[in-house]
Chains A and B, each alone.
Chain A
Amino acid sequence: MNPTTDEMMTIVAARELKDGVVCFVGIGMPSTAANLAKRMHAPNAVLIYESGTIGAKPTRPPLSIGDGELAETADVVVSVPEIFSYWLQAGRIDVGFLGAAQLDKFGNLNSTVIGDYSHPAVRLPGAGGAPEIAANVKETYVMLRQNTRAFVEKIDFRTSFGNGDGAGSREALGMKGGGPKVIFTDIGVMRPDIATGELVLTALHPGRTVDEAKGATGWDLKISENLAFTKEPTDVELSTLRQLKGLVA
């Protein structure tokens, strides 16, 4: 079985989630990755959706963040004010999974506008839960297809704070959460350098090259001295993922 680029991304992200992790999940690929992890090596992962569903165990990929299936299978359903204050803001979430339209080399994210805010070229949906997820979770994971429109030198709007202008930026603002831990793309994996806060390519997926990764990045992407190569998806990972997705009506 050959994985598609999206499947590769999803499987790599799923592998990163540890069993027992408490994970705030967005809809789409992050949700699929978290549910795959739960079916593979992390059966005790706690999935939390911003609609207030804590401990959701969906039997099919949810159609939206507030899918009835999430409420049906959750340990508890709480209000939106409660999920953001008692659970997220109070620091009870280990991992927050985010997507975006643009990302810069310090892992700051834009999901608000492309172009000028007052007269945008493209109006995107906006912040949703992202700014406070990025601020308050212990580790932020990002999933984003890699190309020069998305991986840019300067994002048009800072919706969610990553490492700001470099290492130490978060501490200076008194942020409680740990910030970006890992970026999963269709080409490889990036992690911030501890000394500088800048994203570094740390792994390449099967068949991908450093030149490809650099070419799909809008800044001069640094490459880790210990560049790793992502293990091929196993048949079990792929079939579990396809089964999970195939359950959509």
Chain B
Amino acid sequence: MTHFASIVEAIEVSVKDGDSVALEGFTHLIPYAAGHEIIRQRKKNLTLIRMTPDVLYDQMIGAGCASKLIFSWGGNPGVGSLNRFREAIENDWPQPLAIEEHSHAGMAARYVAGASGLPFGILRGYTGTDLPKHTDSIASITCPFTGEVLTAVPALKPTVGIIHAQQADKDGNIGLWGIQGVQKETLLSAERNIVTVEEVVEKLDPRVTVTIPSWAINYVSVVPHGAHPSYAHGYYDRDNSFYRSWDKISRDRDNFTNWIKTHIDETRDFAEHLELVKSDFIDRENQSVTVSS
């Protein structure tokens, strides 16, 4: 049954050091506010799970929250590579990061198996690639009916599954629309789950295409703009200038660490963080005016 709670409480109660945590969102509805709260509470040794680890996981990895990453594509979407993710793998900084690497199709099959309560998923995948040589959780299986050799991948069962959605109604039912990624599977494969939402409404918007009933959710936290700098369809657009600026912020260790300190550790909540990001943006704009004049 859903409990409305602050994101501080939801993370405090749900996420323990050493847990496996999936924060999903396929470039849309990425739960940044929840991820920042995990950083703020200095959770450690997490196994982070995500199909597309992007800027949020770059922040969490660089801040030292993760000892392992299960993923299929790690980059800054539309911009380039992730400096903190790369440094963790290439130079073990701030700590070594074990990786379990899959493809999107494999990760999707793993989430579906987890949500279905099955031990593994099946696909026609990874054939002829080098991934099975380095990833233990890829095996082959013969179809008992046709004899075709297929690929088996174990179910994903995160300790905690976290997503952002547009709306909750007052009973705590969740509604989202636009690109839906693996949002539903993330919640239903996890032992415990948290949803942050833009707002609570009397009745879910007719544009809603995915509804998750309140009794399947543990915590709902209202965090307006909680997916910034990604976007929430129908609410706000992606802050593309932030994604571009991230490359520079994250390039050097000290600069990055200082950003985490000032923008996450020393901000009271996500609203204060957003104010700071907004003023950075105004500074950047002013600077570019100065330079060009």
Contacts and interface: CB of A to CB of B under 8 A. Distances in A.
A135 B28 CA distance: 27
Contact of A63 (B101, B109, B184, B238): B238
Q: How would you classify the secondary structure of chain A's contact residues: helix, strand, loop or mixed? A: loop
B275 to A, nearest CB: 24
Interface string A88-116: 11000000000000000000000010000
Interface residues of B, number: 51
A159 B130 contact: yes
A194 to B, nearest CB: 19
B126 interface: yes
B111 interface: yes
Interface stretch (B10-18, B74-82, B159-167): B74-82
Interface in B14-45: 26-28
Interface in A48-82: 50-53, 62-68, 70-72, 77-81
A209 to B, nearest CB: 32
Q: Which of A123, A130, A160 has the most CB of B within 10 A?
A: A123
B277 interface: no
Contacts of B86: 122-123
A27 B77 contact: yes
B103 interface: yes
Contacts of B124: 89, 132, 135-136, 176
Contacts of A176: 124
Interface string B222-260: 000000000101000110100000000000000000000
Contacts of B90: 119-123
A205 B203 CA distance: 59
Interface stretch (B174-182, B264-272, B283-291): B174-182
Name the residue among A64, A84, A112 with the largest chain B CB count within 10 angstroms.
Answer: A64
B263 to A, nearest CB: 22
B278 interface: no
B7 interface: no
B224 to A, nearest CB: 18
B103 A131 contact: yes
B89 interface: yes
Nearest to A53: B179
Contacts of B238: 63-64, 67-68
- A-B CB proximity, top 9 nearest: A66-B27, A161-B128, A125-B75, A128-B73, A64-B77, A132-B105, A84-B105, A81-B108, A64-B78
27 contacts: A52-B26, A52-B181, A63-B78, A66-B28, A66-B179, A68-B28, A68-B178, A68-B179, A77-B178, A79-B184, A81-B182, A119-B90, A123-B90, A125-B75, A125-B81, A126-B101, A127-B73, A127-B104, A129-B103, A131-B125, A131-B126, A132-B125, A158-B128, A158-B130, A161-B127, A161-B129, A170-B128
Interface of B: 26-28, 51-52, 71-75, 77-78, 81, 85-86, 89-90, 101-105, 108-109, 111-112, 123-131, 134, 148-149, 178-182, 184-185, 209, 231, 233, 237-238, 240
